[in-house]
Structures are given as structure tokens and as C-alpha cells.
Amino acid sequence: MVNKMNKPTKFYDDRLKLTAYGAAGEVGKSAFIIEDDKKRILIDAGIQIQPKDALSLGPNGLKKRASELDAVILSHAHVDHSGYLPALWENGYHGKLYMTKPTKDIVQLLWQDHMKIEGERHWTPVGLERATHSIETMMYRKKREVVPGVTIEFFNAGHILGAAMVLIDWDGFKILYTGDINDAQTPLYNGFDMPDGEVDVLITETTNGLRKVQPRAEVNQQLIDEVLDTLDKGHKVIIPSFALGRSQEILTVLGEQITEYPIYVDGMINKMNAITEKYLVKNWVDEDILRRLKREKTYTPFNYSNIIAITRENVNHPQAFRDFIGKSDEPSVIVTTSGMMEPSPLHTHLKFVADDPNNLIAITGYQAEGTMGREILEGAREVTIIPGWKAKPVKIKIKAQIKRFGFSGHTSVEGIKTLVDTVKPKQIYLIHGEMENQNQIAGYISNGVTPKSLVENEFEVLAKFPRN
Ligand SMILES: [Zn+2]
């Protein structure tokens, strides 16, 4: 290139760009690169679980960009944000991976669990180990420079343990990425925290769209009422639950209100409870729960005498113990993985509980298409289960009552509106939600700015930086 003065001018791109590699007009495989001509930062790299037995998908086109990245940030541990990360180190990335301390504990467990499910689908143990060694942990509300000129700061997202909203200061230009946020008062968090000042760009999740989110206190009470009603009549309750987040919320509520009956806790929930117990301090959870624990002179909400963990350490032979409680007439609650009723300890419990119309199966989370949970919710009353490690599949009838409770881990649209009104962004980008939801909420949250839905692999210009 030659200018009028006949001096060669160096080509440069003066734009700050944002590109989605997933979670554009959908939920799953979140991955976003923010870049100018000198530096590139990736936020999140998740996978997308597919219906039925199909293999998960990684972010579209991210692999070939791994070697160009200067820093990687993880908002929270859920696999749709974290499940692809180890692949980066196998494709030329050499830098750091920033996350909160609890996220570090949880994500390592989830990565190992994912290997058991999908093997080396996206990455190998080598990538896992290199990713693990590259982790740098941060507290909420503490700034850190991750690349010269780029500072990040985490805010409590109120979503799951350690989840963060990420504020990026790029040479003075401020970008706020919500990750997954919840505005509800839940048993462990009191809604999301947010930056004090204004931002230039907001990139926000839209999972719930305009769907009305039922107040959490109401949902908790409904669950307690239904569970107690079933127990008082002498029957059993199964609560299929996600190991991370929902289980701790439910146990925190059940443990406080149900004292007369055993509450069995099965599956990976027990490991997640143990991690959660490490972080029951002011930095990571709401003060309400800490006040309650102090009042009750205990250090954890998961350790009442009627809460019984079905682990090898606790019951010696978990499978025999499941059979034992299944065959016993004692009314009890079983909180167990999998949240979507896929093969897991839940199936063994179902074998004993499902065929009695007096028992209750309480659905407490989202049931994805193609899962057994969705099948049952849609009316299937005969399903195939795998009742134990290496057991043969068997068909069972579902005669127990099926009830669904309106829990949500994501913010209401009012929560997004409050965020927009507070941080007053000049540009708003919508991610992590179905297109029809995004189109509906765009007008509602706009605040004079027209929100735009990101499109996979198409970049948006966030700013232009004049250069000399
Ligand atoms: Zn999440």
C-alpha cells in the first residue's frame, strides 16, 4: 500500500471486534473472542450437549484461532461454558486461563466427568492437564491486567458457586459480559452484583427471554409442601437434580424444613456439596445463609443428622444401600443426579419408587430434548432404565406422580432491564437464548439503544481506535 507522499503505510485494523463461536441465537457452546489488531481475548469455550446419544459439539471455528489468543477467561464452570477449554492447549494456545477460585475446583471435576462420558471427543488428558496448570484464580471485585492494556474484573453472577459477570476494560473501553446471571434471591445468593459505573458495551444472556420467572420463595414453598405431603402419607419422593447449583439450593431448603425424615443424597451432588462447603464465607455466598448457619451452630447446610450422603465413605456399599432404602417402607426423600433423568444413580432409585402412584417424582430443572426427563414430562409412562453399574437395561412403568417446579438459574427480563438501566451501555448484544426470545426482549430492555443478536462467526465492531 502506498500513500500520496509515496511513503509505505503499514496496514492496520483499527477496529475492536467481537465474534461469537457459539451461543448465538441459542444456548450452548458459549465462546466469544474480543480482539483488536494487537491482542485477542477469548471468554468461555463450552460444548453443546446434543439430544439422544449424539456427541456434543464444540464452538464453531474456534480451534483454528487457539494459537492466536493472548488470554482466556472463564465466567463459570457449567460445561456449556467450560467443556471445550482443554482443546485450546492442544491447538496452540500457551497462555493463562482466568477464573474464580470455586470455579477452579468445580471445573476440574466436570472436565474429568466429561472424559468419562465422551472420552477424547474434543481433547485428551494432555489438554486437561495443561489447562489445569494454566489456571489463575481471582476474587470478585478485584481488577487484574491479563494483557497489556486489558484489565478484567469479576462480579458475583448469583448463578452458581463462583459464577462471574466479567467486566473488561480494553484501553479504557468497557465491555460487560454477563455470562449466566440470576437476579433471584436463592438459598445461597442474593441476585447478581454489577459494576458501579457505566459501560460501553453489554453482552447479555437471554435464556429466559420474556418467560415469567416464578418468585423463588414461592417455588421453594411449593416443593416443601408437596414433599412433606407425600412423606406424611408414608411415601417416597425422588428429586432428580443437577449436581451443581440446583442440588445445593434444594438441600439448603429441605434441610431447614424437613427434619423428621431421611434425605438421601446420591451421585456427584456429594462432591459438589463438599466444594460448596469450602466457600461458605462472605466473599462467595449471601450473608443470609451465613447468619442461618451461625444461628444453627453448624458450618454447612448439608450436614444435618437426617441428610445422608450415599458415598463409599459413608455407606460402604452404595449400590447395596440403594437397594436397601428402595425396599424399605420408610418414607424418605432422595435427591440424586442426573437432573435430566439420564443413566445415573437415579435409575436405581426409580426401579423401586416409580411404580407406586403414591410416590412423587419432583422435577426441578430444565429437561432438554431427547432426555428421559423430557420424555416423562411429555407423558411417557414406560421407560428404559439402567439400574446400576454395568446393569442390563430394563423397562419400567412410571406410575408415581410427576410434578414440575418452576426453578430457574437465569435472570428474569426485569433483571436484565435493571442491569441495562444501571450500567447504561451504548451498545447491547444478545446471546445465550433462543432467537424468538431475543427478538421479543430487544424492545423491552432497550433503554434507547437497539439491542442486536450476535450471529455465529460474524463479527461486530465494538469501537474504532484512532492510531497515529
Ligand atoms: Zn450456567
Cα-to-centroid distance, 366 and ligand 1 (Å): 12
Same domain, 354 and 322: yes
Q: Which set of grid coordinates corresponds to residue 337?
A: 443426579
Residue 280 within any structural domain of the chain:
yes
Residue 6 within any structural domain of the chain:
no
200-226 pLDDT, tens digit per residue, is: 999 999 999 888 999 999 999 999 999
Cα-to-centroid distance, 273 and ligand 1 (Å): 17
Kindly state the percentage of the chain with pLDDT values over 70.
97
Cα-to-centroid distance, 5 and ligand 1 (Å): 55
Same domain, 252 and 394: yes
Same domain, 220 and 275: yes
**Do 442 and 430 meet the contact criterion of CB atoms below 8 Å apart?**
yes
Same domain, 224 and 172: no
Cα-to-centroid distance, 93 and ligand 1 (Å): 24
Cα-to-centroid distance, 3 and ligand 1 (Å): 50
Cα-to-centroid distance, 146 and ligand 1 (Å): 23
Cα-to-centroid distance, 76 and ligand 1 (Å): 7
Cα-to-centroid distance, 378 and ligand 1 (Å): 25
Number of domains in the chain: 2
Residue 59 CB burial class (10 angstroms; 0-12, 13-18, ≥19): buried
Same domain, 223 and 169: no
Q: Is the pTM of this model over 0.85?
A: yes
Region 55-77: what's the mean pLDDT? Answer: 97
Region 333-341: what's the mean pLDDT? Answer: 95
Cα-to-centroid distance, 182 and ligand 1 (Å): 10
Q: Which set of grid coordinates corresponds to residue 117?
A: 462420558
Residue 313 within any structural domain of the chain:
yes
Region 290-309: what's the mean pLDDT? Answer: 95
Cα-to-centroid distance, 78 and ligand 1 (Å): 5
Q: What pLDDT sits at residue 2?
A: 46
Cα-to-centroid distance, 409 and ligand 1 (Å): 8
Cα-to-centroid distance, 382 and ligand 1 (Å): 31
Cα-to-centroid distance, 314 and ligand 1 (Å): 30
Residue 303 within any structural domain of the chain:
yes
Cα-to-centroid distance, 70 and ligand 1 (Å): 24
Cα-to-centroid distance, 248 and ligand 1 (Å): 15
Cα-to-centroid distance, 145 and ligand 1 (Å): 25
Same domain, 238 and 275: yes
User: Where does the pLDDT of residue 7 fall: very low under 50, low under 70, confident under 90, or very high at 90 and above?
Assistant: low
The residue from 404, 422, 450 where one domain ends is 404
pLDDT for 32 beyond 90 = yes
The residue from 404, 426, 441 where one domain ends is 404
Cα-to-centroid distance, 251 and ligand 1 (Å): 19
Same domain, 182 and 220: no
Cα–Cα distances (Å) from 400 to 157, 194, 357, 359, 394, in that order, read: 36, 43, 4, 5, 17
Region 5-21: what's the mean pLDDT? Answer: 78
Cα-to-centroid distance, 277 and ligand 1 (Å): 20
Same domain, 108 and 166: yes
Cα-to-centroid distance, 326 and ligand 1 (Å): 33
pLDDT for 248 beyond 60 = yes
CATH number of the domain at 114, please: 3.60.15.10
Residue 223 CB burial class (10 angstroms; 0-12, 13-18, ≥19): buried
Residue 93 within any structural domain of the chain:
yes
395-450 pLDDT, tens digit per residue, is: 999 999 999 999 999 999 999 999 999 999 999 999 999 999 898 888 888 888 99
Cα-to-centroid distance, 364 and ligand 1 (Å): 15
Kindly state the percentage of the chain with pLDDT values over 90.
88
pLDDT for 9 beyond 90 = no
| Phi, then psi, of 79 in degrees rounded to 5 | -65, -25
Same domain, 413 and 400: no
pLDDT for 186 beyond 90 = yes
110-135 pLDDT, tens digit per residue, is: 999 999 989 999 999 999 999 999 99
307-335 pLDDT, tens digit per residue, is: 999 999 999 999 999 999 999 999 999 99
Same domain, 225 and 76: no
**Do 275 and 161 meet the contact criterion of CB atoms below 8 Å apart?**
yes
Rounded to whole angstroms, the Cα distance separating 82 from 85 reads 6
Beta bridge partners of 394: 385
- The residue among 374, 456, 463 whose CA lies nearest residue 27 is 456
Cα-to-centroid distance, 99 and ligand 1 (Å): 14
Beta bridge partners of 71: 41
Residue 364 within any structural domain of the chain:
yes
Cα-to-centroid distance, 159 and ligand 1 (Å): 7
Cα-to-centroid distance, 346 and ligand 1 (Å): 22
Cα-to-centroid distance, 207 and ligand 1 (Å): 10
What mean pLDDT value characterizes the chain? 94
Range of the structural domain that residue 390 is part of: 216-404
Residue 3 within any structural domain of the chain:
no
Q: What pLDDT sits at residue 1?
A: 46
Cα-to-centroid distance, 160 and ligand 1 (Å): 7
Residue 5 within any structural domain of the chain:
no
Cα-to-centroid distance, 10 and ligand 1 (Å): 43
Classify strands 459-464 and 15-22 as parallel, antiparallel or unpaired.
antiparallel
Q: What pLDDT sits at residue 53?
A: 72
Cα-to-centroid distance, 288 and ligand 1 (Å): 23
DSSP of 375-433: HHHTT--EEEE--STTPPPEEEE--SEEEE----SS--HHHHHHHHHHH--SEEEEESS
CATH number of the domain at 308, please: 3.40.50.10890
Cα-to-centroid distance, 244 and ligand 1 (Å): 10
The residue from 356, 389, 404 where one domain ends is 404
pLDDT for 5 beyond 80 = no
Same domain, 225 and 356: yes
Region 331-343: what's the mean pLDDT? Answer: 95
Region 171-181: what's the mean pLDDT? Answer: 97
**Do 450 and 442 meet the contact criterion of CB atoms below 8 Å apart?**
yes
- The residue among 58, 78, 118, 97 whose CA lies nearest residue 207 is 78
Cα-to-centroid distance, 135 and ligand 1 (Å): 19
Radius of gyration of the chain (CA): 23
Cα-to-centroid distance, 239 and ligand 1 (Å): 20
Same domain, 43 and 145: yes
